[in-house]
């Protein structure tokens, strides 16, 4: 059985260079959380028949099952095995709501499936493998802060595939960050991140400029993490996320994940800053807002956003651990 936690990008992954290999256009950087774990058990069946996937106690079918089967085919191909798998997975995060359920899901599946099929992969290779399930999953292999290399600049897709993995990045001990998650709407999104990325890259005139500015954001972010400069980390993360959403709003037709409630939370974050609290927002492929702040300020931030979305819809997260096999290994 494997355990993995979601991660939230402070420098976003948005847009693929290659869909099949899940190669991103830009590098991204995230914080793995200590909330919403996913546990996944993979057992091998007798013959080669269809895989079986049980998701929170319910048998999966359709697109969810197809995505996992395609991923398991990759693992089988690498392992030179053909047996079908029975996958049991438990996810505590609302699925498909832009709360990184696919990140923890495919990170846990990569670790559990590699073990079940006898593949001995190090963390870097597991990260490359998880990437194929969902790009952001490559980063959940690691705890704390992780940088996913795009592999851009390589001459061929094969070369990019080889070097597109995540690895931990340094941050000052004194940073002590928290991410306050404000769940505006826990329902599944209407447009998948895959489809939205495709549309943005293909049609948004703002995509190229954002991708270029994201490289500069990343360099500044790394320096800010090493300095332990939470204000700078937050400012860079917020502008990078708002820029990503701007690329989507400029797509044709527009992709809009942000709802009126999202904007109300963003207002609350601005109010917190006016009151002297270092609080910065980031949003993914959904209306929910994650607010970066110092751990010492997390209760105050949680109160402020709770006043908008309801206290029961707020979860305070800190930096969490990387994906790992739990005892027994099955
Ligand atoms: O891993 P995917 O395909 O679900 O993409 C997620 C992309 C964002 O969450 C919006 C940004 C990120 O870097 O995690």
CA–CA separation, 131 and 165 (whole Å): 7
Q: Tell me the best of 8, 9, 251 to mutate to test the pocket of ligand 1, counting ligand atoms within 8 Å of each CB and taking the most.
A: 9
Do 262 and 249 lie in one domain? The reply is yes
- 147 sits in the region (left: phi over 0; alpha: psi -120 to 50; else beta) called beta
Nearest-atom index, ligand 1, CA of 148: 13
Question: Quick one: pLDDT at residue 94?
Answer: 67
CA–CA separation, 61 and 38 (whole Å): 19
Question: Quick one: pLDDT at residue 189?
Answer: 74
Question: Quick one: pLDDT at residue 187?
Answer: 72
Do 145 and 178 lie in one domain? The reply is no
Which one of 144, 172, 200 terminates a domain? Answer: 172
Phi, psi of 26, rounded to the nearest 5 degrees: -120, 160
Residue 5 token pair: 């936690």
Per-10-residue mean pLDDT of the chain, 330 residues long, equals 97 97 98 96 92 94 94 98 96 69 94 97 98 98 98 95 97 97 83 95 98 98 98 98 98 96 97 98 96 98 96 94 83
Domain with 225, as residue range(s), is: 174-317
CATH of the domain at 313: 3.30.70.890
Do 180 and 163 lie in one domain? The reply is no
Nearest-atom index, ligand 1, CA of 194: 3
Does ligand 1 have an atom closer than 6 angstroms to the CB of 89?
no
Distance 297 CA to ligand 1 centre (A): 27
CA–CA separation, 178 and 18 (whole Å): 33
Nearest-atom index, ligand 1, CA of 22: 3
Nearest-atom index, ligand 1, CA of 135: 1
Residue having the nearest C-alpha atom to atom 8 of ligand 1:
284
Inter-CA distances, 129 with 8, 121, 144, 166, 204, Å: 19, 9, 20, 11, 30
Query: Is residue 63 packed enough to be buried (19+ CB in 10 Å), middle (13-18) or exposed (0-12)?
Result: exposed
Does ligand 1 have an atom closer than 6 angstroms to the CB of 27?
no
Residue 237 near residue 278 (C-beta atoms within 8 A): no
Distance 223 CA to ligand 1 centre (A): 23
Do 95 and 178 lie in one domain? The reply is no
Q: Is residue 92 within a helix (H) or strand (E), and if so which, with residue range? A: none
Residue having the nearest C-alpha atom to atom 9 of ligand 1:
284
Do 166 and 212 lie in one domain? The reply is no
Do 212 and 154 lie in one domain? The reply is no
Do 251 and 265 lie in one domain? The reply is yes
Q: What is the CA radius of gyration of the chain?
A: 19
Nearest-atom index, ligand 1, CA of 137: 1
What lies within 8 Å, CB to CB, of 236 at 6+ separation is 10, 11, 217, 220, 221, 224
Distance 6 CA to ligand 1 centre (A): 11
Q: Tell me the best of 4, 5, 7, 13 to mutate to test the pocket of ligand 1, counting ligand atoms within 8 Å of each CB and taking the most.
A: 13
In a domain, 327, yes or no: no
Does ligand 1 have an atom closer than 6 angstroms to the CB of 136?
yes
In a domain, 16, yes or no: yes
Q: Total structural domains in the chain? A: 2
């Amino acid at each position: 059985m494997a355990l993995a936690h979601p991660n939230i990008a402070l420098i976003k992954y948005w847009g693929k260079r290659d869909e099949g290999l899940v190669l991103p256009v830009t590098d991204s950087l995230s914080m793995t959380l200590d909330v919403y774990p996913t546990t996944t058990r993979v057992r091998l069946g007798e013959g080669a028949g269809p895989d079986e996937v049980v998701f929170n106690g319910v048998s999966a079918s359709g697109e969810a099952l197809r995505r996992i089967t395609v991923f398991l085919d990759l693992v089988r191909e690498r392992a030179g095995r053909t047996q079908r798998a029975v996958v049991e997975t438990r996810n505590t995060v609302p699925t498909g709501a832009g709360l990184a359920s696919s990140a923890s899901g495919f990170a846990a599946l990569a670790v559990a499936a590699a073990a079940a099929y006898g593949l001995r992969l190090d963390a870097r290779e597991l990260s490359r493998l998880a990437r194929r399930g969902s790009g952001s999953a490559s980063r959940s292999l690691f705890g704390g802060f992780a940088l996913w290399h795009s592999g851009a600049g390589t001459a061929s897709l094969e070369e990019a595939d080889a070097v597109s993995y995540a690895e931990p990045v340094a941050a000052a001990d004194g940073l002590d960050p928290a991410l306050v998650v404000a769940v505006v709407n826990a329902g599944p999104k209407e447009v998948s991140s895959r489809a939205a990325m495709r549309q943005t890259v293909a049609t948004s005139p703002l995509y190229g400029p954002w991708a270029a500015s994201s490289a500069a954001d990343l360099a500044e972010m790394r320096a800010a993490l090493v300095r332990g400069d939470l204000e700078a980390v937050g400012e860079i993360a917020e502008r990078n996320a708002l820029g990503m959403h701007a690329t989507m709003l400029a797509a044709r037709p527009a992709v809009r994940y942000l709802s009126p409630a999202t904007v109300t939370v963003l207002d609350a974050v601005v109010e917190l800053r006016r009151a002297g609290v270092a609080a910065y927002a980031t949003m993914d492929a959904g209306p929910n807002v994650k607010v970066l702040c110092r751990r010492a300020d997390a209760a105050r931030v949680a109160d402020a956003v709770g006043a908008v979305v309801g206290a029961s819809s707020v979860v305070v997260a800190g930096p969490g651990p990387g994906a790992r096999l739990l005892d027994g290994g099955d």
